[in-house]
Amino acid sequence: MFDVMVAPDGDGRAPARSDLLSRLFSRKAAAMLVRNTIVSCFVFGVSIAMLWVLVEFFGVRQVVAAGIGFVAANSLHYALGRSWIFRGTDRAVASGYVYFLATGGLGLAVTMGLYALLLHYTPIHYLVARILVSVIAGLVMFAFNALLNFRRL
């Protein structure tokens, strides 16, 4: 379906042509997704804790507080992702962080947009809404990073 070039895995071999869907649904992708899920759950906990503290103790508006927590957690996710989830990447740290921030911008847009819609149009509790939205945004960001930023799939 989508035929694209894959970066070499550092073994000196030329990039192999591979079907995008077969790469996304491979054992390698599954292993990275498991590691990503562990890191994401941890940093999401950090984000939720920040959201709760900012709303409950500092009176910050819910959507603004969610954005602040998201940005802080996303930076932590980069450090953990580079060293564990996508280990072996040949992407330089600085350019990788720029790409990761771009991914974060995409994730932030998806997160904030869906979060605002849920808060406005449903009676769902703000913390539950944030959890639901994180699943969608997290999968989008994982795919972008695995395929384009860290080039591990």
Q: For residue 82, which amino acid is it?
A: R
Write down the pLDDT at residue 57: 97
Cα–Cα distance measured from residue 118 to residue 113, given in angstroms and rounded to the nearest whole number? 9
Write down the pLDDT at residue 116: 94
* DSSP secondary structure code for residue 28 in this structure: H
Location of structure tokens 């911008």: 105
- Mean pLDDT, the chain cut into blocks of 10 residues (153 residues total): 45 57 88 92 91 96 90 88 88 86 81 92 92 85 86 84
For the chain, percent helix, then strand, then coil, each to nearest 5?
A: 75, 5, 20
The tokens for 72 are 């802080």
Write down the pLDDT at residue 60: 96
Write down the pLDDT at residue 32: 92
Write down the pLDDT at residue 35: 94
SS3 state of residue 48: helix
Residue 105: how many other CB atoms lie within 10 Å = 12
Rounded to 5 degrees, φ, ψ at 18 are: -150, 150
